[in-house]
Structure 1
């Protein structure tokens, strides 16, 4: 049986607060401070997550689930007639926006010996969805034909965190798309001059 609506809201607030507090303070983020940031009593936090390891593990799982849901929703929109590159860009933009929190939670999990192996199936679903988006973008001619989901995963390892300002993160995304997308190079010669100059 699922959580009551108020309990589900509390749980969601706790997870959001945990990600933000861990991004700010790392593994030493306190449960009391997380409860305060979430606007819930400490007892409420402990009812949902008896230990910090439980909380961090849940934060990891929650984020992975959100990524999977985002990728699969993007696939659905492409099947309904959307442009694959636009959906890929939207997914990457979302990932960049939360990259600092994600890295901090993963680091905190590693510090507590949480390996995230139970998320393997979720990661497999995300990769399968990304494969479908990439295939659709290839059909549209919007990605270089040799780009694979493994390439995307490699590029995402270089994604800047929140220690880099929003403008720089946006620039990273633009540069990544330039490397993946023929349209960025179509009108330029190898020296970088506009065609016809």
Structure 2
């Protein structure tokens, strides 16, 4: 069986431009943003957009999958920094702050995904994120900085309850309150 060819460099660039434009346009203009507007913002022809993503549902699902991949890479980098000596609790704190902010800016895309029924699941990214976060939790608990009963599910629950549709000052206050409940130290 012949091996599949890697995508051409221009196709990879176009796909990235389309995903970036979709995220930006949906965030700015809401879930009803048209494919024509997304193509124009990406600087590609509408046909190019449709070659990559035959439907808007496919496009929004790909944006969501890309987001999952970025979250996984972020928490893996946090785990590596903790392995290199950074306090694991500080890495969890910074990770939570980044995810809440990313989720806040990705809020419109999530709404579009719900509206369109675009349920992209990147099982590999989810597994990578879960594993890295579990490692960080284990390290922070062993360091005595995190309550010993905190789990990955708890962190996911906190992220899902974050006030992502509120202003940054409210999100920062929420994070301060949540972190107080996670740590074993008085801050």
**TM more than 0.5:** yes
Alignment partners' CA distance in 1, 2:167 and 2:152: 27
Alignment partners' CA distance in 2, 1:35 and 1:154: 35
- Superposition CA RMSD, Å: 2.0
Distance 1:109 1:74, change over 3 A: same
Structure 1, unmatched stretches of 5+, are 187-197
Q: Is 1:135 matched up with 2:141?
A: no
Q: In the TM superposition, what are the counterparts of 1:1-197 in structure 2 within 5 Å?
A: 1-116=5-120, 118-161=121-164, 163-183=165-185, 185=186
Alignment partners' CA distance in 1, 2:157 and 2:14: 35
- TM-score normalised per structure 2: 0.86
Q: 2:58·2:118 contact (CA, 8 Å) conserved in 1?
A: no
Distance 1:2 1:87, change over 3 A: farther
Alignment partners' CA distance in 1, 2:102 and 2:40: 21
Alignment partners' CA distance in 1, 2:172 and 2:106: 17
Alignment partners' CA distance in 2, 1:170 and 1:6: 40
Aligned length: 183
Q: Deviations over 1:13-40 (max 9, x none)?
A: 2212212222333331111111222233
Q: Deviations over 1:142-196 (max 9, x none)?
A: 11122111111111111122x422222222222211111122x26xxxxxxxxxx
Alignment partners' CA distance in 1, 2:28 and 2:90: 31
Q: 2:30·2:108 contact (CA, 8 Å) conserved in 1?
A: yes
- TM-score normalised per structure 1: 0.82
Q: 2:26·2:108 contact (CA, 8 Å) conserved in 1?
A: yes
SS of residue in 2 equivalent to 1:24: helix
SS of residue in 1 equivalent to 2:30: helix
Q: Deviations over 1:15-72 (max 9, x none)?
A: 1221222233333111111122223333332232222111111111111111111111
Q: Deviations over 1:66-118 (max 9, x none)?
A: 111111121122222222122212221221221134333233222222233x4
